[in-house]
Amino acid sequence: MPIHTLQSDNYTIEAGNIEESSFSQLLNRFSDSKKVIIVDENTHEYCLEFLITQFEELTDAEVMLLPAGEENKVLEVSFQVWEALSEYRVGRSDLIINLGGGVITDMGGFIASVFKRGVHFINIPTTLLAMVDASVGGKTGIDLGPYKNQLGVFNTPDAVYIDKRFLSSLPESEWLNGYAEMLKHAIVFSKTHWKTIHAKTPSQITEEDIIESIAIKNQIVLADPKENGIRKLLNFGHTAGHAIEGYLLGTESPVPHGIAVAWGMSMEAELAFKTGVLNEVDRAWIQSVLASHFPPLPDFTPVKQELLSLMTNDKKNKSGKVSFVFPSEIGQADVNYSFDVDAPVLESLFFKSSDLY
């Protein structure tokens, strides 16, 4: 398949075999610059050798190996990277290459953005989640305790390169993570995309499906780069989902981002229905599709106060109210539905899958 190029805000997103992309030309632009490749334990094992052997310009690149996992997307790890960058004498004209999933692209972009007030960086996402969501859009960040992405900046990479071959080593659970975000893009913006992907298993997702999902997000981001309006649509499922993810991160049973978001979408679809925004047919369709692909929604009632407390510190909130995105039907959604944390209607968030099916 030929390289498919999307133009985003001051950078390009290219999908296809990376050897056929503009990556080599970009490296030539930095021929006299230092290059640093940030990887985690997984991409160090499965992806790094391929990249270095394909591009001789990376033969002398410094490799920075970070521990894998959301629990490591924190200031302490970032600080260690900044110290290493200082030891390598990396400057603003040098290049950081983020080779990894959402944790690496989020954190690597943040590290590059604040070091010496900004170092060039590119993203080469290696998970479906990173390809369709985390690596595009210009959001960078790290977590602060149980609060997701509390520290971060908006800053765009020089380029993003999407090569589906990096997905070949992923377990099914990693495909699920990205599939959740693809379903979210469809629910809030494109019923056509929903009809294309909702009945597929994650491993049946094609490169064309990935490109379409990226195009949806890119279109939304271009219209609202700093999330003042329409970009808030991309937060569907994330108010409840981030609270769930953050809460469980501190337990013995953490869940990946995609599963937390899938549960969040099911919960927020229920709340949208109970408040009269979402019709019953599409509510049931959304919840049944999510239930067919993702683990059953647990009963979070015993910890609802903890989850609501986490929701009150969500960065999307305004005037002390908890904010949500509600679909009005599949393919359309509205932003800025807000409730006091003690509003009785928020009880609609807390149910388990067996209550519905």
Give residue 357's pLDDT band: very low, low, confident or very high (50, 70, 90).
low
Helix (H) or strand (E) holding 5, with range, is strand 4-7
Domains of the chain: 4-170 (3.40.50.1970), 173-355 (1.20.1090.10)
pLDDT tens-digit map of 30-50: 999 999 999 999 999 999 999
pLDDT tens-digit map of 183-241: 999 999 999 999 999 999 998 999 999 999 999 999 999 999 999 999 999 999 999 99
Smallest CA-to-CA distance from 239 within 292, 316, 300 is with 316
Euclidean distance between CA atoms 149 and 171, whole angstroms: 25
Tell me if residue 21 falls in helix, strand or coil. Answer: coil
Helices 304-312, 238-249: inter-axial angle, 10-degree rounding = 120
Task: Return the residue matching tokens 């001789």.
Answer: 56
Amino acid letter for position 292 = S
The pLDDT, as a whole number, for residue 176 is 94
Euclidean distance between CA atoms 311 and 342, whole angstroms: 12
Residues with Cβ within 8 Å of 346's Cβ and at least 6 positions away in sequence, in order, are 271, 308, 322, 339
- Rounded to the nearest 10°, the torsion over CA 13, 229, 268, 290 is -20
pLDDT tens-digit map of 290-321: 999 999 999 999 999 999 999 998 878 887 89
